[in-house]
């Protein structure tokens, strides 16, 4: 499955790209991790 996000803020994309590089992972993996963490927190509510 492919996910495309239109009008994603350029500054946020740049920060995500940098953070992924710092952690040695792909942008895809960083986003998946962030979404999973967010969903786990929501379930605990």
Count of structural domains within the chain: 1
Task: Give the Cα-Cα-Cα angle 26, 28, 34 (nearest 5 degrees).
Answer: 105
Asked if residue 39 belongs to a domain, the reply is yes
Please give the pLDDT value at position 27.
96
Please enumerate in sequence order all residues whose Cβ is within 8 A of that of 29, keeping only pairs 6 or more positions apart, or say none.
20
Asked if residue 1 belongs to a domain, the reply is no
Assign residue 3 a region (left: φ > 0; alpha: ψ between -120 and 50; beta: otherwise): beta
Strand, helix or coil at 9?
A: coil
pTM, whole model, 2 decimals?
0.84
Domain that holds residue 37: 10-43
Asked if residue 3 belongs to a domain, the reply is no
- The string of pLDDT tens digits covering residues 1-45 is 899 999 999 999 999 999 999 999 999 999 999 999 999 999 998
């Amino acid at each position: 499955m492919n996910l495309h996000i239109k009008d994603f803020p350029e500054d946020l994309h740049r920060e995500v790209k940098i953070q992924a590089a710092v952690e040695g992972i792909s942008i895809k993996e960083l986003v998946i991790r962030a979404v999973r963490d967010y969903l786990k927190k929501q379930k605990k509510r």
